Structure 1
Amino acid sequence: MSGYGGLVAALLADDGTRPWTATVPRRLDDVLASMPVPARAGLRGAAAAVDAYAVARTGRRLAALGSGERERVMESLGARPALAPALDLLKVPVLLAAGTERMLYEGGRGPLLAPPDDPPLDCVPAEEWPARATADAVVIGSGAGGAMAARTLARAGLRTVVLEEGHHHTTASFGRRAPLDRFAELYRDGGATVAVGRPPLLLPTGRAVGGTTLVNSGTCYRTPDHVLERWRTSFGFSLAEGMPDRLDEVERTLRVATQPLDVLGNNGLLALTGAERLGWRAAPLRRNAPGCKGSCQCVVGCPAGAKQSVQLSVLPDACAAGARIVTGARALRILVDPDRPGGPRAAGVRVRRADGSELEILSPLVVVAAGALQSPPLLRRSGLGSHPGVGRNLSVHPATSVAGRFPEPVTAWEGVLQSVGVEELHGQGVLIEATATPPGMGSFVLPGVGRELRRELDGAGHLATLGAMIADSPSGTVHGRDRTLIRYDLSRRDGGRLMTAVRAMAQLLFAAGAKEVLTGIPKAPRARSPRELDEALTGMTARQLHLSAFHPTGTVAGGADPSRFPADGEGRLRGVTGVLIADASLLPGCPEVNPQVSVMAGALGVTGG
C-alpha cells in the first residue's frame, strides 16, 4: 500500500465518491519511483512536514483522519505562508498522478487511428555489442544534433556508430500506454531534472533514441536573423555564416509547415482571438508534424507518428547509409591518444552497459552530442574539460504559465499541444505560446488544496493555458563529472521579463473572453480583471512564480576567442584533434526561440553538410 494515501486524500479532498481517486496513491508511487533520489527525498520531506502538522493539530496523521478533519487541516495549512512551498512541491506529482487516473477512468479521447509503421532503424542493445569494435566515427547522443551529425557522416561513407543511453521506442508503443506511463522511460530522471538556485527550476530533457526531439512540442522556429548576426559578430561563431541554407535543409528534412487551423483546438483558437482583439502579432506555429491528429501528447511521444522527431526523420536515413545505433549505452569517457604527432587526438569511446560491464569503440573521430547538460561532465570524465568555459554560459529559457477560465468548455488537451505563437513582445525577450497538455501534465500548478483544489480539477475543462519563455542571460553552470549538478540563478532583468510575460498572458486571456485568470502565484492565485491583476502583482517578483525551464544551451560554446570559448567557431573542441561538438551546448548565446532547428543546422555545419 502507498505511504502517500493520506496526503493524496487530503490534497484532493477525497471523500470516496469518485472511483478514480482510489488509485491515485499507487500511480503516485510509480511517478516517484522514476525520479532521482534527491527529488524523492525532497518530496518525502515535504510530505513528512505536512503529516507532522496534522499530528500537531489533531494528534493523528492524515491517513487516520476523516474527510472533514483532513479538510480542516488543509484549510489551516493553506493559510500558513511558510508551508506553501512544501504544499506546492507535493502538488506537482499528485496532480500528475490524479490527471492520469481521471483520464483513464473517463476514457480519454478514445482510440486514435492505427499509426503507420516506423521507418527501420539499425538499433543494437549494448549487451549485444562486442566488447571491442572499430568505427570511422562515433556520435555520442541520438538527439537533434547527434542524429544530423550521424546522417552527414554516414552519407559521406564513414562507418558511423551512434551511442544512446536510452532505448528505442516505437510509435505503436506510445499508443498502447497512458501518457504518464511513458514519462519515466522517455525523460532523464523521470522528468525531474532540477537546476538548483534562486529560484529552483524544473528542467526536463529526453533520454531515448531521438533525444529530446521525441518529447518536445514539435515547434520549429528558425534562428532569428538578429541572433545569427550577434553570434557571428560578437562571438566569432563562424557557423552562423551559412546557417540560412542549412536551416532550409533542416526544414525540408523535418517537413516543417504551418499548423492548419482545423487541428489547433480551442486553446490555440482562443489565443488567436485574444491577440486579434489586442492587435498583437500572432499565428499558428510552424511544426514538424504533417498530418497531426491533435492528440496533445507530443511531450510523451506522438502516438500518431505525425511529429517528425529525428528517430522518424533523420536517423532512418543515417541507418540506410550504414550508421548503427547502440542503445542502453552510457558514454563513460572519450579515449585520447596523448602521444600523437601534433598533439592529443581522439581514439574512441569507452561505454558502460546497464549491467555495469564496459565496451570500447575505437575511432579517430568523436562527435559529442550528449546535450548541454551532459556534454560538460563527459568532457571532464575524459580529461578534456579543463577549459574554464566548459559548463559555463548556460541559458535555459525560463518559463511560466497562466490559465484563463472561460464560460464555455475549452477542453484544452484536445488539439495541438503547442499551437500558436504570440510574438508581440518578442523584441522585449518574451515569446508567448499557446500550450496545453494532457490533464495534470503541464507545468501550470492549479491553486488551492483540499476542496478548493478539487474544484479546480473538476473545472479544468474550462481552462485555456498559455506559456511564455524568455530570452535569458547565460546565468547557469553545469558542474560535476559522474552526475550532473546544475546551478542557475535568475537575473533581475530576466525576472522582470517573466513578470511582463505574466501580465501579457493575462491581458490576452481577458481579451479572449476569460472571466478569471489563474496566475500561478500562491499569494495571489486569481484575478477577475486586468486591474485586479495589476493590484495582485504589485510587489511580486518572479521568484514567487511557478517556474520551469527548457532548451539548455551554451555550455561548450563555440567562438573565435580561445580564452573564452571551449570550441572554435566551427565546432572543434580546443586542445584535442578529432573531437567535434554538435549539440545545443555549442550555441554561444540564447537562441531566443525553440532551438531544435538551430541545433540541427549547427550540427550539419559542424560535420561538413
Structure 2
Amino acid sequence: MRTRAPGRAGTASEGFVAALLGDGGDIPWAARVPARFEATLAALPAPVRAAVRGGVAAVDAYARVRTGRPLAALSAGERESVVAELGRRPPLVPLLDLLKVPVLLAAATERAAPAPAPEPPKDPPLTCVPAAHWPARSRADAVVVGSGAGGAVAARVLARAGLEVVVVEEGEHHPTSSFAGRAPLERFTDLYRDGGASAAFGNPPLLLPVGRAVGGTTVVNSGTCYRTPPHVQARWSGRFGFAPADELGVRLDEAEALLRVAVQPLDVLGANGRLALAGAARLGWRAGPLRRNAPGCAGSCQCVVGCPTGAKQSVQLSVLPDACAAGARIVTGARVRRILADRDRPGLPRAAGVRVERPGGGAFEILSPLVVVAAGALHTPGLLRRSGLGGHPRLGSNLSVHPATSVAGRFEEPVRSSTGVLQSVGVEELHDRGILLEATASPPGMSSFVLPGLGRALRRELEDADRLAVLGAMIADRPSGRVTGRDRALVRYALHPRDGRRLLTAVRAMGQVLFAAGAQEVLTGVPRAPRARDQRELDELLTRVTSRQLHLSAFHPTGTAAGGADPEWAPVDGVGRLRGVHGVLVADGSVLPSCPEVNPQLSIMAVASAVAHAHLA
C-alpha cells in the first residue's frame, strides 16, 4: 500500500482522482494518475481547464461540508461515501460524468502496458521552414493557408502546374518517428487544437476535435476513405450548382490513387471489427471491412494520435511530398493573421498575399496574387472576417458536424480493442436513413464512450474494459450550426430534433449488432441508464432517454463557406472563388454545400482538386 510523504497534504486533484477511482493506495498504477491528469489539464484551453478545476474544487468543498476534511485527507471508505452521495443526486450525474473524462484518459494511459515501439520508417521528404526562419517579406505565385486534405491537394495541383507555392501551416511538422514510444495521450494533446477539447456550444454541447499539424486532421483521422455518395454528388451539382458530378468522380479516382485506398484486409481487422461483422451477419445487415488509406496496416489502433508505423497515408506522407518535389515550401508554426488585398484599383479588391504571425512575436508578409484558403470549416470564416473579406451574410452558417455517439458491448472473452484496426468495419444497413455505424476502437480512454460508475465500481469497469467492443454511429445532419468570431472561432450548434431521433435509433441499432454478436450486456453511455442486458431492456430504456442525455461528440465540420451558383446563398461560387474579391479560392471542408454523409477526406480532396484545376483552366 502506498503512503504519502510525511507532512505533505494531498492535493485536490489527488483526492478527486482517488475518489473517482476508488483508490485506497492499493493500485500501483493509480499513483501516477494525478500527475497525468494535471498534465492533461495543462494542455487544454484556459476556460476548459478552469471549468474542470472548478468542478474538482466543488466536489472537494462538498467533502469538507460533509466531513470537515478535504477528499485527500479522507480514508478510501469515506471518499467512496462522498462520491456515492453525489452520484445519487440526479442533477449532478451529468457533471460528474464530464469530470470523469480527463480522469479516465489519464487512468487508462497509466494502466495500459507500454506498446512496443516499432522501428519508425523514414518519411518522404518535405520542405518545411519554421516561421521563425522565414524572411520578413517574400513573394510567391500562390499562398495556401492550411496543409490538411484540401490545402495539400491544392498545393500539389498548383505546384505541379509550375506555380511557386508556399503553404502556411499553424501547426508543426510531426514526423512518424516522433510518434513511436510516446503514450497516445501525450500525442493527443500535441496533435489536436486546444488539446482535443474544441467544442460546439449548444444544447447539448458537442466535443468537436480537429487536428493542428502539417497534414491537418488527416494526421489524426481514422484513415477511413468513403467516396462521396452518388446522391450527394448529384445534390451538390444539381441543387447547389457546385462541383459537376462527372468531374468530381474523376477527382475522387485521383484521390483514391494518391492515398492508395483499398478494402482493409481481414487479417489485421481485430476482434472489435470481427464482432461487428458477426453481429451484422446474424441480423442479415449490410456490412463489411472499410476502405482505408493504410496499405500495410499493422493494427496498431493508434490512427487518431498519429500512425506509429507510417502505414496510414495522411497527406503529409502522400500528397505534400509531391507538392514539395514540385517546388512547394511549407512554413510551420505560422498563423495567418489576414489576407492582404489591393483595394486601390477600381472594381473588386484583389488578393495581394498574406500577413503571418510568428509564434514568438512579430510578423512577416508573403506577397502573392493568389491565396487559397484551406484553414478548415471552423477557422476559414474567422480568417476571412479578419481580412475584411467576410461580408457575405451566410459566411460561417450552414455548419454540419456529423453528430456521433458510441456504445459498448461486454463479451465473455477478451476483445482487446486496442489491437487491430481502429476503425475497421462499416455497418451500412441504415445509411439510407442517414445513420452510419462504424466499429471504432480508440486507444485506451480515448473513446467518446464513457464508462459508468464512481469509486470502486468505476475502477472495476476500467479493469474489465478489455472485454468491451465499441461501436460508433454518426448522423448525416441537417446543417444546424454557425461559426462566429474573428480571432477565435466560436462554434454554436443546435441539434435538430430529427437528428436527435436518429441518434436514438442508432443506439438501438448498435445494441442489436452487439447482442447479435453475443454481448452479455450493452453499456449505453447514459449516466442514468448505463446498461442493458438484452435488446428488450435496451428498447425499454431508450423510451426514457432523450438524445441530449447521450454522450455526444461530433466530427468532420463542413459547410461554413459553402460553394454554389446562388450568390445570395453561397459565399463562394461554383468553382471555389470567394465572392467579392479576385484571387481568393476556398478549398477545404467549409466549401462543401451540404453534409457529405460519410467520412469526408476523399470529398474534400476531390473538391480541392476541382477548385485548383478550375483556376488553372
| Corresponding residue number in structure 2 for 1:551 | 556
Aligned counterpart in structure 2 of residue 282 of structure 1, from 278, 287, 293: 287
SS of the residue corresponding to residue 601 of structure 1 reads helix
State yes or no: 1:230 paired with 2:239.
no
Q: Which is further off, 587-596 or 334-343?
A: 334-343
Whether the aligned pair in 2 keeps the contact of 1:256 and 1:287 (CA below 8 Å) is yes
Whether the aligned pair in 2 keeps the contact of 1:2 and 1:26 (CA below 8 Å) is no
Q: How many Å separate the matches in 1 of 2:56 and 2:570?
A: 44
State yes or no: 1:111 paired with 2:117.
yes
Percent sequence identity over matched residues? 71
Runs of 4 or more, structure 1, over 6 Å off, are none
Matches within 5 A, 1:370-409: 370-409=375-414
| Corresponding residue number in structure 1 for 2:16 | 7
- Give unmatched runs, 5+ long, in structure 2: 1-9
| Corresponding residue number in structure 2 for 1:79 | 88
Question: What is the identity, as a one-letter code, of the residue corresponding to 2:265?
Answer: P
User: CA 1:174–1:523 in structure 2 vs 1: closer, same or farther (change >3 Å)?
Assistant: same
* 1:469-499 alpha-carbon deviations (Å, 9 max, x no partner): 0000100000100011000010100000000
Question: What is the identity, as a one-letter code, of the residue corresponding to 2:540?
Answer: E
Q: Which is further off, 45-54 or 252-261?
A: 45-54
Superposition TM-score, scaled by structure 2 size: 0.97
Question: What is the identity, as a one-letter code, of the residue corresponding to 2:235?
Answer: R
Question: What is the identity, as a one-letter code, of the residue corresponding to 2:473?
Answer: A
Q: 1:19 deviation in Å?
A: 1.1
Q: How many Å separate the matches in 2 of 1:249 and 1:534?
A: 44
| Corresponding residue number in structure 2 for 1:415 | 420
Whether the aligned pair in 2 keeps the contact of 1:46 and 1:89 (CA below 8 Å) is no
* 1:367-387 alpha-carbon deviations (Å, 9 max, x no partner): 000000000000000000110
Aligned counterpart in structure 1 of residue 43 of structure 2, from 8, 13, 34: 34
State yes or no: 1:61 paired with 2:70.
yes
SS of the residue corresponding to residue 340 of structure 2 reads strand
Paired residue total: 605
Aligned counterpart in structure 2 of residue 100 of structure 1, from 94, 101, 109: 109
* 1:338-397 alpha-carbon deviations (Å, 9 max, x no partner): 123442100000000101210000000000000000000000000001101110000000
Whether the aligned pair in 2 keeps the contact of 1:239 and 1:570 (CA below 8 Å) is no
Whether the aligned pair in 1 keeps the contact of 2:83 and 2:454 (CA below 8 Å) is yes
Whether the aligned pair in 1 keeps the contact of 2:93 and 2:528 (CA below 8 Å) is no
| Corresponding residue number in structure 2 for 1:582 | 587
Whether the aligned pair in 1 keeps the contact of 2:477 and 2:595 (CA below 8 Å) is yes
Whether the aligned pair in 1 keeps the contact of 2:12 and 2:56 (CA below 8 Å) is no
Q: How many Å separate the matches in 1 of 2:435 and 2:348?
A: 45
| Corresponding residue number in structure 1 for 2:174 | 169
Question: What is the identity, as a one-letter code, of the residue corresponding to 1:111?
Answer: A
Q: 1:238 deviation in Å?
A: 3.4
| Corresponding residue number in structure 2 for 1:561 | 566
Q: How many Å separate the matches in 2 of 1:238 and 1:370?
A: 20
Q: Which is further off, 80-89 or 561-570?
A: 80-89
State yes or no: 1:198 paired with 2:203.
yes
Q: 1:235 deviation in Å?
A: 1.1
| Corresponding residue number in structure 1 for 2:26 | 17
User: CA 1:2–1:233 in structure 2 vs 1: closer, same or farther (change >3 Å)?
Assistant: farther
Superposed CA RMSD in Å reads 1.0
* 1:91-148 alpha-carbon deviations (Å, 9 max, x no partner): 1111111111111xx333x333x12200000000000000100000000000000000
Q: How many Å separate the matches in 2 of 1:310 and 1:2?
A: 43
SS of the residue corresponding to residue 156 of structure 2 reads helix
| Corresponding residue number in structure 2 for 1:262 | 267
SS of the residue corresponding to residue 597 of structure 1 reads helix
Q: How many Å separate the matches in 1 of 2:307 and 2:133?
A: 28
Question: What is the identity, as a one-letter code, of the residue corresponding to 1:94?
Answer: V
Q: How many Å separate the matches in 2 of 1:3 and 1:521?
A: 27
Whether the aligned pair in 2 keeps the contact of 1:214 and 1:299 (CA below 8 Å) is yes
Q: How many Å separate the matches in 2 of 1:542 and 1:363?
A: 48
Q: How many Å separate the matches in 2 of 1:239 and 1:61?
A: 64
Whether the aligned pair in 2 keeps the contact of 1:182 and 1:300 (CA below 8 Å) is yes
Whether the aligned pair in 1 keeps the contact of 2:12 and 2:60 (CA below 8 Å) is no
| Corresponding residue number in structure 2 for 1:46 | 55
Q: How many Å separate the matches in 2 of 1:2 and 1:318?
A: 51
Q: How many Å separate the matches in 2 of 1:338 and 1:2?
A: 58
Q: Which is further off, 427-436 or 231-240?
A: 231-240
Superposition TM-score, scaled by structure 1 size: 0.98
Q: 1:49 deviation in Å?
A: 1.9
SS of the residue corresponding to residue 439 of structure 2 reads strand
| Corresponding residue number in structure 2 for 1:366 | 371
Q: Which is further off, 543-552 or 334-343?
A: 334-343
Q: How many Å separate the matches in 2 of 1:321 and 1:75?
A: 62
| Corresponding residue number in structure 2 for 1:453 | 458
| Corresponding residue number in structure 1 for 2:501 | 496
State yes or no: 1:533 paired with 2:538.
yes
Q: 1:240 deviation in Å?
A: 3.6
State yes or no: 1:149 paired with 2:150.
no
Q: How many Å separate the matches in 2 of 1:284 and 1:81?
A: 41
User: CA 1:603–1:47 in structure 2 vs 1: closer, same or farther (change >3 Å)?
Assistant: same
Q: How many Å separate the matches in 1 of 2:386 and 2:347?
A: 23
Question: What is the identity, as a one-letter code, of the residue corresponding to 2:43?
Answer: S
Whether the aligned pair in 1 keeps the contact of 2:114 and 2:183 (CA below 8 Å) is no
SS of the residue corresponding to residue 464 of structure 1 reads strand
Q: How many Å separate the matches in 2 of 1:107 and 1:165?
A: 31
| Corresponding residue number in structure 2 for 1:271 | 276
Aligned counterpart in structure 1 of residue 519 of structure 2, from 491, 514, 529: 514
Q: 1:520 deviation in Å?
A: 0.5
| Corresponding residue number in structure 2 for 1:433 | 438
